[in-house]
Structure 1
Amino acid sequence: MRRTFSAMLTAVTVCMVCSATGQAAPIFLDYGDFDSRLGELAASAGIAAFTSSEIDTIKANIKSDLDAIYADFDATFVETDPGGVAVIDFGLTAAPGALGEADAIDFGNQVAADLARVFSANFDFIIESAEPRATQIDELSAALAGTAAHELAHNLGLRHHDAYGDLTYTGGDIATGGAQNAYIIATGSTGLNETGRETLREFTDHSKVKLSFAAGFNAVLPTTITEVADVASTIAAATAAAAVTLDPLTAVARSAVNILGEISTSGDSDIFRLELTAGTTLTADVNNDFGSGFPSGFSNGNTELRIYNPSGVMVASSLRSGYSASTYGNTPASGDGFDPAVYNVPIDTTGNWFVQVLGESGVTGDYQLLLHADTLTSTTVVPEPSSMALLGIGLMSAGAWRRRRQRKEQNQTDSAA
């Protein structure tokens, strides 16, 4: 596919290897009306109202848990609003059953001041009246902190199916055994229960990779490259082109790159070559931007993702990232965007591996392709001549990611269901 970003590139320095640096912005913990919400929670749960000292303890516990959950990143949580930063609001109300809501799935954190909402009054189901008061406070604190971390993660680009990101999925449906619910981005539809919400959870390695690309959230960003001319549409052409390589990350033992591409014509195909080492794994995750709705009979986000080994044999593919509790794959009815992803594809042969993004007939639009692996034969970024350019600031600029998704839908709403 061919696209031109001349206006963008004149405003951005092009270099061979570079990242964005700077001070990460804090996240404001807004406790306005939090006392009132906890009062409503206590009344619903049939327990004594929380004292000022107990509320201070809950706040301190929430901050401690958030610090632990986001310890691998440059995240600072503050209770004084500096203005113009991401906010987690604990004082808002919603219908019973709703636990939290995020502004958007904002991969790359295009909008720095997104709002994450925690509907604190609706956590009465966490309270068991027979438990000691200290246990009630600890479990409630963990549940509130987990939902806060979850909604913030949506605003930084995570989706519910990222909870399955540490599994090995190459295509077809798999039984997870519930492993996904050990992670922050799990939710009611993945099978997360009350006990899981009361437990300090963490992020999958895949989630950590995605969070590493959040602008304003990390002092240093990994590399993002942008397609500026034709990309190979066949394996033969991709073999002759320079490999796309990955940069090592600091938050997790993976190397990664994000590619801004475009399905510019009906049925367009982009194939990228990677030099990979046997014994490692490869994850490929597509984030589409094709607007709302799907063509008739097509409900996968409008692209197909395929992985080919050095012999040109397709070893993994995905039409959509669907899930239904402890089943993950193409066919489950649940999902949050349906963009395709394959997790931890085993690399059994050292050599050239190929990742294809294939557009649906009649559909065009931008996409992002996130690639990460354990190790590579090289960590030097070598853009394909005349077809790739590194963004000097390592960001997904508004010019490249033209139609940023900003939705408030079920996939951004966490519930106890």
Structure 2
Amino acid sequence: MPRLVLMLVATMAISLTASETAFSAPIFLDYSGFDTRLSELAASAGIAAFSGAEIDTIKANIKSDLETIYSDFDATFTETDPGGVTDIWFGGTTAPGGLGVADGIDFGNMVLDDLSRVFSANFDFIIEAGDARATQIDELSAALSGTAAHELGHNLGLRHHDAYGDLTYTGGTIATGGAQNAFIMATGSTGLSETGRETTRTFNTHEKVKLSFASGFNASLPTTLSETADFASTIAAATAASALTLDPLAVVTRSAINILGEITTSGDSDIFRLDLTSGTTLTADVNNDFSGVFPPGFANGNTELRIYDPTGTLVASNTVSAYSGNTFGAGGFGDGFDPALFNVPITATGNWFVEVVGEGGATGDYQLLLHADTVTSSTVVPEPSSFALLGVGLMSAGAWRRRRQRKDQNEKQNAV
């Protein structure tokens, strides 16, 4: 793992655990019921049923596409069930129109046996009866593998608005020209077309940053910072604190850190300092859509993100990642109430500040992902004695409970 550069003071409480992951994640491609679903698809599309050899070709294409899409990560796809692993099932059924569904949004891959479902029979719209058989097979394979990669992405923490993650912040709505639909997390609400589904898509930089935190999919993981006492709540306090360098990532030229924090009282906020270089960009993204089983006690907080330049001037803010088709920053779609600020331009070298505040006085827990260009000396700065480092992505349930207990003790001591 890239070396962490720490500048510490004696009073700062730090714990850093090993960041190596013990295994490459096997993903089981479950084709039980798949032949039946393809027969239903062929009948609905008005074409001849697929032969056994053609079905084998589709399966081989799906596996090859998934290996290509996830080639930057330690992902192994197998048709032999090893048990207790992530499963992509191609034989399920649902109402017409449904293409796939994931168990949840599991940032960090804390639940290793999540299930992704691809409803293969509903892909009849991909088939053009007049096309050559080879074209039908190729386009169907690409559509199925794209949806499989998309649903697996959800189970590794990705969301639909991440498809817009390579846009540059402008302070207003952005007309994308459809750029988001080249990426895996694009979907109907982002404007993904039939032609787009028939084309092999890839992950954008922001999606790759988030996947870099997935346990079992990376040889090492970036740091997760856990709040054990209140972070800095003013720019002055953040400026005076010590520094932690962000972790350079292996798959993209970005450095990143994940922060688990809590807004404890109405009007409270947490402020982080980053030392950035002019001409680069900074992304701040709140991710509170955990799978239902992790972590215990996590109370999603409705938050607002704010970024300040070295003069303390507010230059970017967001309360919800709204989008619709080729528009980002407005529209009828959004992933929960989680805000994101993608690629905010850094216009001056120096201390920049990211603030997380409860929207409308809300309280609760949050998870904040920060990433910036690796060429910078990006640093995140909480107050002394206010954090613990976990190099294994997200915290275990036990670590989360200990965090809450320590905070409760600190608050009781402060009240005395």
Match of 1:351 in 2: 350
Equivalent residue runs for 1:12-161 within 5 Å: 15=15, 18-161=18-161
Deviation at 1:393, TM superposition (A): 3.6
Closer, same or farther in 2 for the Cα pair 1:121/1:83, shift >3 Å? same
Which residue of structure 1 aligns with residue 210 of structure 2?
A: 210
- Matched residue type, 2:97: G
What secondary structure does 1:95 align onto? coil
Q: Higher mean Cα deviation, 171-180 or 303-312?
A: 171-180
Relative distance call for 1:140 and 1:392 in structure 2 (3 A) is: closer
RMSD across aligned positions (CA):
2.2
Aligned equivalent of 2:271: 271
CA–CA separation in structure 2 for the residues paired with 1:171 and 1:94: 40
Q: Aligned in 2, Cα 1:53/1:26: closer, same or farther, shift over 3 Å?
A: same
- SS of aligned partner of 1:76: strand
1:360 maps to 359
Residue-pair matches, total: 382
Instruction: Say whether the 8 Å CA contact 1:62–1:141 is kept in structure 2.
Output: yes
Determine if the alignment matches structure 1 residue 258 to structure 2 residue 294. Answer: no
C-alpha separation in 1, matches of 2:30 and 2:40:
18
**Residues 246, 376 of structure 1: 8 Å contact kept:** no
Distance 1:314 1:376, change over 3 A: farther
Deviates more, 1:159-168 or 1:357-366: 357-366
Find the counterpart in structure 2 of residue 375 from structure 1. Answer: 374
- Given the alignment of the two structures, is residue 164 of structure 1 paired with residue 164 of structure 2, yes or no? yes
- Paired AA for residue 352 in structure 2: W
Q: Distance in 2 between matches of 1:382 and 1:338?
A: 26
The secondary structure found in structure 1 opposite 2:67 is helix
How far the C-alpha of 1:289 sits from its partner, in A, is 6.2
Kept in 1: contact 2:273–2:379 (CA 8 A): no
Task: Look up the equivalent residue of 2:257 and give its one-letter code.
Answer: V
1:365: how far off?
Answer: 1.4
1:290/1:364 contact within 8 Å kept: no
- 1:382 CA displacement: 7.6
Q: TM-score, normalised by structure 2?
A: 0.87
In structure 1, the gaps of 5 or more residues are 1-12, 293-299, 403-417
Give the SS at the match of 1:83. Answer: coil
Secondary structure of the residue that 1:370 maps to in structure 2? Answer: strand
* CA distances 1:331-387 after superposition (whole Å, capped 9, x unpaired): 422112130000011112111110000113452211111000112544788875301
User: Which secondary structure state, in structure 1, belongs to the residue aligned with residue 258 of structure 2?
Assistant: strand
Partner of 1:328: 328
For 1:217 and 1:284, the matched residues in 2 are separated by 23
Query: Counterpart of 1:178?
Result: 178
% same residue: 76
**Structure-2 separation of matches of 1:289 and 1:72:** 24
Cα deviation, residue 171, structure 1: 3.3
In the alignment, the residues of structure 2 paired with residue 392 and residue 306 of structure 1 have an alpha-carbon distance, to the nearest angstrom, of 26
What is the CA-CA distance between 1:152 and the residue it aligns to? 0.3
1:297 maps to which residue? none
- Aligned to 1:288, what secondary structure does the other structure show? coil
- What is the CA deviation profile of residues 14-65 of structure 1, one whole-angstrom value per residue up to 9, with x for unaligned ones? 5458523321220000000100000000000000000000000000000000
CA distance in 1 between partners of 2:303 and 2:132 (Å): 52
Give the Cα–Cα distance (whole angstroms) in 2 for the partners of residues 158 and 400 of structure 1: 23
Change over 3 Å in CA distance of 1:174–1:316 after alignment to 2: same
